[in-house]
Amino acid sequence: MHKKLQILYHLKLLQWLGTEYMNPLNLESSTLPQLPNDLEKLREIVSQCHLCDLSKTRKNVVFGEGDPHAKLMFVGEGPGATEDETGRPFVGRAGQLLTKMIENVLEIPRSKVYIANIVKCRPPGNRVPTPQEAHTCIPYLWKQIEIINPRIIVALGATSYQYLTGDKTPITKVRGEMIDFQGRILIPTFHPSFLLRNPSKKREVYEDLLKIKELL
């Protein structure tokens, strides 16, 4: 099943990239092996994933963590060095800042939200995931969203926003907007790592979080 899943996902990716087949294959999502409707079973599958080259350099898969019934979900770009070591999302410097944002501004425990990334394995050198890596991995995220069913999704940074929505509008122009997203509300904002480099932007994210707090 794993080999079949790998082949089908790669064929689907080639189709997304514009490849045409001599004898067209039916690669609609309904023909792909169904991912389980259970987070722990999904975690088991993701932990054994080798669908892209990121699996060759990772130490740990970073699946995601938090309340499986969370109303609020944060989606980042990909794991960093600390996350790769621990297998947990957002536990490095950027993660510590995110935790403060959640607990001090939203006034809810971090454990009451769900935190995940576009890709589950660390890109070498913390580079941005390639389109192939992101499109190969994102079906896992779609399934997480389906299972958790959050009311609000916060896209942390441009990469997260782009791959969630397909929109390449700069994050500076959409930050803080409330976007209708598959019957949910999606709010893009700056990534915590960006805030560490640009502390003056924290005020804007603080305003975004106040909007989220009001919605909650």
Distance CA 75, CA 200 (A): 22
**Neighbouring-strand partners of residue 186:** 153, 179
Distance CA 25, CA 153 (A): 34
pLDDT of residue 55: 95
Coil, strand, or helix at residue 4?
helix
pLDDT > 90? residue 57? yes
Domain range 35-215, its CATH number among 1.20.1250.20, 3.40.470.10, 3.40.50.720, 3.40.1190.20: 3.40.470.10
Coil, strand, or helix at residue 181?
strand
Q: Which of 30, 26, 32 is nearest to 9 (CA)?
A: 32
pLDDT of residue 15: 58
Domain ranges of the chain: 35-215
pLDDT of residue 105: 97
pLDDT > 70? residue 4? no
Helix spans in 102-148 (H): 131-148
Residues 6+ apart with CB under 8 A from 120: 46, 49, 61, 62, 63, 64, 78, 79, 137, 140
pLDDT > 70? residue 20? no
pLDDT tens-place string over residues 150-209: 999 999 999 999 999 999 999 999 999 999 999 999 999 999 999 999 999 999 999 999
pLDDT tens-place string over residues 95-135: 999 999 999 999 999 999 999 999 999 999 999 999 999 99
Q: Which residue has the higher pLDDT, 53 or 27?
A: 53
User: Within its chain, how far is the Cα of 214 from the centroid?
Assistant: 23
Give the global pTM: 0.85
pLDDT of residue 82: 97
**C-beta contacts of 194-199 below 8 A and 24+ residues apart:** 194/157, 195/94, 195/97, 196/93, 196/94, 196/97
The DSSP annotation for 50-107 comes to -SSTHHHH-SS----EE-TT-SEEEEES---HHHHHHS-SS-SHHHHHHHHIIIIII-
CA atoms within 13 A on the CB side of 98: 27
pLDDT tens-place string over residues 36-55: 999 999 999 999 999 999 99
Q: Please give the backbone phi and psi of residue 46, each rounded to the nearest 5 degrees, phi first.
A: -65, -35
Average pLDDT over residues 2-26: 55
pLDDT of residue 13: 56
